[in-house]
Amino acid sequence: MSTADILPFFRAWIRNPLQVAAVAPSGSAVSSLMVQGITSKSGPVIELGPGTGVFTRALLKRGVRQQDLTLVEYGSEFIPLLQQRFPGARVLWMDAAWLHREKLFEGAPVGAVVSGLGLLTMPQEKVAAILRGAFFYLRPGGAFYQITYGPHCPVPDAILDRLGLQAACIGKTFRNLPPASVYRISRCPLR
């Protein structure tokens, strides 16, 4: 992680700590956890809250092409940085809760959604809107990957149940500031 990543991230956190969930960009250990189940065949991929692009770089290392990335960022200070670093990706300045309002794709072609959003600080209805929008685009078998700094899944069971989703912790790392866990959220199997 370079100073070029830390300074803009820290400044954004100082301005709005509830919007930027961590004091520094995620490190390589949690980035590897976030993308371990994603390959070039997963594309297209939506990334929510890419910030400085730490997970974006990890996705590229896993073989996802820039053209297959849609980066959804609410923090305007990160938009020029993302456009410069990932010129082949589609970079959208919008709230992730608006996913269902936008026409990002025809049908449901997306294989994965990677989220660096601070769901723990959001109202439950906003969390539900984000998941509803993401799963609108996710194809069968696709998954939503979520980082958290809390001890449990950041999506309450009531929301998971209401949306027909299940969550499983796929890993934890203490080699991150702060220590983090990653959850894979997917559709419940049909019974």
Q: Quick check: 148 and 170 in contact, CB under 8 A?
A: no
The pTM for the full model equals 0.86
What's the pLDDT score for residue 191?
Answer: 59
3-state secondary structure the chain: CCHHHHHHHHHHHHHCCCCCCCCCCCCHHHHHHHHCCCCHHHCCEEEECCCCCHHHHHHHHCCCCHHHEEEEECCHHHHHHHHHHCCCCEEEECCHHHHHHCCCCCCCCEEEEEECCCHHHCCHHHHHHHHHHHHHHEEEEEEEEEEECCCCCCCCHHHHHHHCEEEEEEEEECCCCCCEEEEEEEECCCC
Residue 65, classified by CB atoms within 10 Å of its CB into exposed (0-12), middle (13-18) or buried (19+), is middle
Parent domain of 16: 3-187
Q: Can you give the CATH number for the domain in which 88 is found?
A: 3.40.50.150
Structural domain tally of the chain?
Answer: 1
Over the stretch 48-103, which tens digit does the pLDDT of each residue have?
Answer: 999 999 999 999 999 999 999 999 999 888 999 999 999 999 999 999 999 988 88
Residue 101 CB coordination number (10 Å): 11
DSSP state of 46: E
What's the pLDDT score for residue 17?
Answer: 55
Mean pLDDT, 10 residues at a time, the chain of 191 residues: 53 51 60 93 95 95 96 93 97 96 88 96 96 96 94 96 97 77 94 59
